[in-house]
Amino acid sequence: MKIPYDIGRANQTNQAAHASQVNQAGMVNRINSKLEKEGGSAFPLLLASTSPRRKELLHRLGLKFTVIPSLVEENDVPGLPEEKARTWALLKAEAVARRFNGDGIVIGADTIVVLDGRVLGKPRDEEDARKMLGQLSGNTHTVITGLALINTRSGLRIGEAVESKVSFRTLSDEEIDSYIATGEPMDKAGAYGIQERGAGFVTHVQGCYTNVVGLPVSCLLTSLEKILT
């Protein structure tokens, strides 16, 4: 019997997703093994962020890590949006590397939302969140996560910036007000969380989904393998 095209394509997609998961699991196992060979618990993976989204992504990957807040204030820095994201990520990683007394791998990350060349950070207050969501409504914006890794033993550093495109449907004023009332937008760049209620605003994502959440998993794993080589 001839298999309909759409079913065959669905099977191919499922097979590709399974292969990706197997490859990812292999990378995680190699990274954890390298960390143990470097000195076990004395050579930890350090996350310079208290973001619950980033912590959850690392937990899901199966990576062993310790959280050390960077305590860095996100003041404006010069450069293009991707340069700003990389710089903020590096500043966070450097702050933890300086305070940490020992050998380890520090991960710094910073996520920004860019619309028409303008950077939208975390909203200052509810009115600012309302303004941001109104601007994103019915438009496509870019989410950039800067990623910085520092090997405190060798001094090796890796910096990356990953971009994804996110499209919003048109939002009503009532929807925006109801969303703000949940408090969810207040600690997130662009005033929304794609992994939470904000997912209902999104019509399309082009690129890495976890990058929009706050940590580009594929880029992180590749960078970890490089810095541990």
CATH number at residue 71: 3.90.950.10
* pLDDT value at residue 7: 40
In this predicted model, what pLDDT tens digit does every residue of 181-205 receive, in sequence order?
999 999 999 999 999 999 999 999 9
Output the pTM of the full model: 0.86
Q: What would the mean pLDDT of 25-45 be, rounded to a whole number?
A: 80
State which residues form the domain around 32: 5-227
R_g of the chain computed on alpha carbons: 19
Pairing of strands 118-120, 105-115: antiparallel
Number of domains in the chain: 1
Give the separation between CA 165 and CA 142, rounded to whole angstroms.
5
For the question of residue 110 being annotated catalytic, the response is: yes
Catalytic residue among 6, 76, 103, 110: 110
Mean pLDDT of 17-32: 76
> What pLDDT score was predicted for residue 2?
40
Q: Of the given ranges (24-28, 85-89, 152-156, 167-171), which has the lowest mean pLDDT?
A: 24-28
